[in-house]
Structure 1
Amino acid sequence: MKKTIVVGVTGGIAAYKTCELVQRLVHRGIRVIVIMTKAATSIVDPSQFEKITHEKVRIELFEDEFHYKTILAKRKVDHITLAQSADLFIIVPATANVIAKIAAGFADDYLTTAVLAATCPIAVCPSMNTAMWASPVTQKNISTLRSLGISIFGPDAGILACGTKGEGRLKDIATIEKEVIRMLDTSLSLSGKRILITAGATQEKIDDIRYITNKSSGKMGAALAESCYLRGADVILLRSRTSVSPRYQCKEYMFDTAEDLEHLMKHHVKTVDLCFHAAAVSDFAVARTVHGKISSDKRLPLELTPRTKILTKIKTWNPHVYLVGFKAEWNLSKEQLIVAAKEKLQITRADMIVANDVGKSDRGFSADANEVVCVNKKGGSLHIPFAPKRIIADKIMDYIQENLLSP
């Protein structure tokens, strides 16, 4: 069946770029219906979108021919029907004004009313001046949208229309197109599954203001959370306060220390079907921490003691959970990674280990890409070549569903 996407266009200078996105989607055989704010029509003529989509552009809630008796006779309201027939609703660009309206629940024009009535996934692509994007009000509104389950794509950093250089530029159209297709291709194959994912780095306290940590950004865990969310799973993400946020709304709980994370995992893992322990938990604890602030006038020796691995405890909290652990190694070959992963399987009773080499600067910790080897307890393995972490996450999920979770 042909998919339907509603594209909202607001009054940002980047509105002219939305024509390219709509063109790309139509070429893919997708039905696209455009809603424009009045301000947007001052930037792009609605006829440009109508030529591409062969669909009427919606602007006014009440057009000249509107009469309430027609509505009562047909029992059909255009903006409600449109909003509830869409497979995806995306706003490109989304100005600070419209973001604020959606966050506050305003419904004072065709676009915001349709958003409020939409029952499909919603995404917004912010575009505005750098200072407007950095404003605490805008950031609060973005957080509200995330909490409502609305996906946020962008913005990017670069030269803006006003001449400012910084964050606020509309995300690249080709990238937005890929995100749209990814959301449309959601299979809901994990519907009914509860999945726990950990992400980011723990901290080990030295004194009340200093700590040791590692370079983990949480990007791999966030990518797994997104992949599971798009497959319909009920996702619980435990992430460090310094880690990246997923683009889709998941239940999130924050941690700082290994103790925080262990407490959260012990509580949440008991009711889940799958657990991805991707957080980079410190291998060592500081033997003696100090209350207050240690003076910097003299040398300070630190004694570090090895930590018990959280991964080894998870099966005792839930023997039936499908457990996937992660192992970072330094400058190992693919064959050596497989050996290391098999050893980790035996020690932890995990169902699968994802091993990667963090000895290269373009992959692993903090990087956007990775290369991994997956080894499962049934004896199978999968090498996933160097790719963006979102693709790595999708391939891991495909492998688990096709080979390990299937009857």
Structure 2
Amino acid sequence: MKGKNILLGVSGGIAAYKAAILVSQLTKKGANVQVVMTESATKFITPLTLQTLSRNEVYLDTFAEKNPKVVSHIDIADRADLVIIAPATANIIAKLAHGIADDMLSTTLLAVQSPIIIAPAMNVHMYDHPAVKENIRILKSRGVRFIEPNAGLLACGYVGKGRLAEPEEIVAAIESYFQSSQDFKGKTFLITAGATREKIDPVRFFTNRSTGKMGYAFAEAVVERGGKVILVSGKTSLSVPANVEMILVESAEEMYQAVMNQLDNADVIIKAAAVADYRPKVVYDQKFKKGEGDWIIEMERTKDVALEVGKRKKDHQLLIGFAAESEDVIERAKGKLKKKNMDMIIANHILLEGAGFEGDTNIVTLITKEGEQIDYPMMSKKELAHQILNQIILRLEGKSQSVRNGRD
């Protein structure tokens, strides 16, 4: 991070006090931090505090042009290697989504050409409001990255999701951005995500609790690092990540066909979807009417997508799978790793708090076919995706070296 120009936008929420910690930590790591504040932000923390910590002038007023040789908001926008907005209120998110430029920060953001990372902070109901969710979706579709807020006790007294990520988490995300660069440029990832649905009749189906968050986090992380992504996804409520090739499927059979059709195009296959192991043997064309007594549904096995990929993958391809288990987690993961010819498997105990389905965090152990085990503590699924990708790039580079040595 040394020598990097980081433009920090601070908007008006109670979490603005954390900007002081963030500026301090970034400055200690050698970054040059330029702060732009909204007028509302100055009600929570003084510009002098951030000026002292950053050792740079803090910008507040679009029309306070102190240097006649430059236009301030254009100048600082041009010099930024990365933009962070922390905290980002619903207001500043809306302005950026809709191109409103009515103060120094919003005007500067429209001139920025560097990547933008947003760390929202607001009341839980505000964060869940359809307008805010739509604005976030719009920004994500344009390639803006988000650091998800944490859940907990908020300043307003509510308990829920909306608390600004801790400064250490934001710094880690910034470091990850600068370290990752474009190390997957020229590589294609085939990623599966979400749950499949197995129909019983036109009304009912079997499914599971997978939301697709882990697979989508992988897709976003790969794109950030320059890779191409083919995302095969069951139905989710998530926004489609920017710059991915999306293939929507419903059943396990549809996912199998989609993966097989794309398999030869991939350098890395990440099987993050929760694919049904069984489906109803009989599917009714009309709604099944309730009657007296029990309804017994006979189930049959679906195709094991990961097993088939393991059989067909080429020497240059990597296969990474997941083992979501509730008992004997490591041993069962090792069994799947060997049986399905995977290169790595990610084992997670779904009963642990902060791990498994539906949440925004995960706790996992990465196991490689060479027998290496790496334990990852609880972290956001996006950060975990980057950590796993760091291991994948090492193995891809190793395979490339092997090929070169073989040719020599």
The CA deviation at 1:13 is 2.1
Select the residue among 375, 382, 394 that pairs with 1:385.
375
Matched, 1:155 2:149: yes
Matched, 1:19 2:20: yes
What is the alpha-carbon distance in structure 2 between the residues aligned to residue 232 and residue 143 of structure 1?
21
Equivalent pair of 1:229/1:250 in contact (CA under 8 Å): yes
Matched, 1:137 2:131: yes
Select the residue among 294, 298, 301 that pairs with 1:299.
294
Aligned residue number for residue 212 of structure 1: 206
Matched, 1:77 2:78: no
Select the residue among 97, 106, 112 that pairs with 1:118.
112
The CA deviation at 1:319 is 5.6
What is the alpha-carbon distance in structure 2 between the residues aligned to residue 172 and residue 20 of structure 1?
9
What is the alpha-carbon distance in structure 1 between the residues aligned to residue 40 and residue 125 of structure 2?
21
Equivalent pair of 1:384/1:395 in contact (CA under 8 Å): no
Amino acid paired to 1:283:
D
The CA deviation at 1:126 is 1.3
The CA deviation at 1:82 is 1.7
Q: Percent identity?
A: 32
Matched, 1:104 2:98: yes
The CA deviation at 1:153 is 1.6
- Structure 1 residues 257 and 3: alpha-carbon distance in aligned structure 2, compared to 1, 3 A threshold: same
What is the alpha-carbon distance in structure 1 between the residues aligned to residue 37 and residue 346 of structure 2?
48
Equivalent pair of 1:225/1:246 in contact (CA under 8 Å): no
Aligned residue number for residue 281 of structure 2: 287
Provide the aligned C-alpha RMSD in A.
Answer: 3.2
Aligned residue number for residue 34 of structure 2: 33
Select the residue among 162, 166, 169 that pairs with 1:168.
162
Amino acid paired to 1:35:
V
The CA deviation at 1:122 is 0.7
The CA deviation at 1:10 is 0.9
Question: How big is each residue's C-alpha offset from its partner over 1:114-171, in whole Å with a ceiling of 9 and x where there is no partner?
Answer: 2222222211111222332222111111111111111122222333333333332222
The CA deviation at 1:300 is 1.2
Report matched runs for 1:332-347 at 5 Å. 332=328, 337-338=333-334, 340-345=336-341
Select the residue among 225, 234, 238 that pairs with 2:219.
225
The CA deviation at 1:37 is 1.3
Matched, 1:354 2:359: no
The CA deviation at 1:325 is 4.3
- Structure 1 residues 3 and 250: alpha-carbon distance in aligned structure 2, compared to 1, 3 A threshold: farther
Amino acid paired to 1:61:
T
Aligned residue number for residue 373 of structure 1: 367
State the SS of the aligned residue for 2:21: helix
Amino acid paired to 1:310:
V
- Structure 1 residues 152 and 64: alpha-carbon distance in aligned structure 2, compared to 1, 3 A threshold: closer
What TM-score, normalized to structure 2? 0.83
Amino acid paired to 1:179:
A
What is the alpha-carbon distance in structure 2 between the residues aligned to residue 135 and residue 363 of structure 1?
24
Structure 1 stretches of 5 or more lacking a match?
Answer: none
The CA deviation at 1:310 is 2.7
State the SS of the aligned residue for 1:185: helix
Select the residue among 310, 315, 322 that pairs with 2:317.
322
What TM-score, normalized to structure 1? 0.83
Aligned length: 391
Question: How big is each residue's C-alpha offset from its partner over 1:314-346, in whole Å with a ceiling of 9 and x where there is no partner?
Answer: 58998687141426386558577545433322x
Aligned residue number for residue 305 of structure 2: 310
Aligned residue number for residue 400 of structure 1: 395
* Range that drifts further, 304-313 or 132-141: 304-313
Question: How big is each residue's C-alpha offset from its partner over 1:244-284, in whole Å with a ceiling of 9 and x where there is no partner?
Answer: 67998755444332234235435544543322223222122
- Structure 1 residues 227 and 384: alpha-carbon distance in aligned structure 2, compared to 1, 3 A threshold: farther
What is the alpha-carbon distance in structure 2 between the residues aligned to residue 78 and residue 57 of structure 1?
11
State the SS of the aligned residue for 2:294: coil
State the SS of the aligned residue for 2:59: coil
Amino acid paired to 1:385:
D
- Structure 1 residues 102 and 109: alpha-carbon distance in aligned structure 2, compared to 1, 3 A threshold: same
What is the alpha-carbon distance in structure 1 between the residues aligned to residue 350 and residue 93 of structure 2?
42
State the SS of the aligned residue for 1:38: coil
- Structure 1 residues 354 and 65: alpha-carbon distance in aligned structure 2, compared to 1, 3 A threshold: closer
